[in-house]
Amino acid sequence: MALPLAHSQCHDAENSVPELRPTIALPVAARRWKNGENPTAVLIAPADTTKPVSLGFGSTYVMDDPITVSPDPSSEIIGRAQGTFSFASLGDPALAMAITMTFTTGPYNGSTLTILGNNPITHAYRQMPILGGTGAFQLAQGIATVNTVTVDIAKLNDILEYHVVILHYY
């Protein structure tokens, strides 16, 4: 799957005003492994609970998940989704997520997107806001929709599909 090309150029901040750039739709996937030989999400603050698995209110994880061009586990890695997430609901399971997607190859190499929001993990369709970006995505705003492609409850491993729609300046 080819990613859309970016035509970002740095501008001279003193002599020009950033111009609105066309919207970019970017489908990517993230693989998260909490168990196994090389976990990409690690519990850093367990909830005060007697549950054997720390999925309760207050449990906080740090993550460094690979970003791929598709949900296929063998697809090309194009970056990392790094940040934290906490179980932040006393009702339906929901995560408070702070993510920086850092692209490490391809047309967006060196660019980042920052996502911050509520992720109600039992819902089929979830949205989180894009608060900013750097490089090809400087001054980005937009929305990231999230879908759980697969989940292994026993191992706490999952594959998430993100559809990112970005409005940004250059």
pLDDT in tens, 81-102: 999 999 998 888 899 999 999 9
pLDDT per position as a tens digit, 50-85: 555 556 888 899 999 999 988 888 899 999 999 999
Extract the tokens encoding 34: 């909490």
Pairing assessment for the beta strands 112-119 and 41-45 based on DSSP bridges: unpaired
> What's the pLDDT score for residue 27?
81
CB burial of 10-48 (b: ≥16 within 10 Å; e: otherwise) equals eeeeeeeeeeebeebebebbbbbbbeeeebbbebeeebe
Say which residue, 22 or 24, is predicted with more confidence: 24
Question: Residue 20: CB partners within 8 Å, gap ≥ 6?
Answer: 167, 169
Domains within the chain, CATH numbers bracketed: 20-169 (2.40.480.10)
Pairing assessment for the beta strands 157-169 and 141-152 based on DSSP bridges: antiparallel
Q: Give the predicted TM-score (pTM) of the model.
A: 0.80
> What's the pLDDT score for residue 10?
46
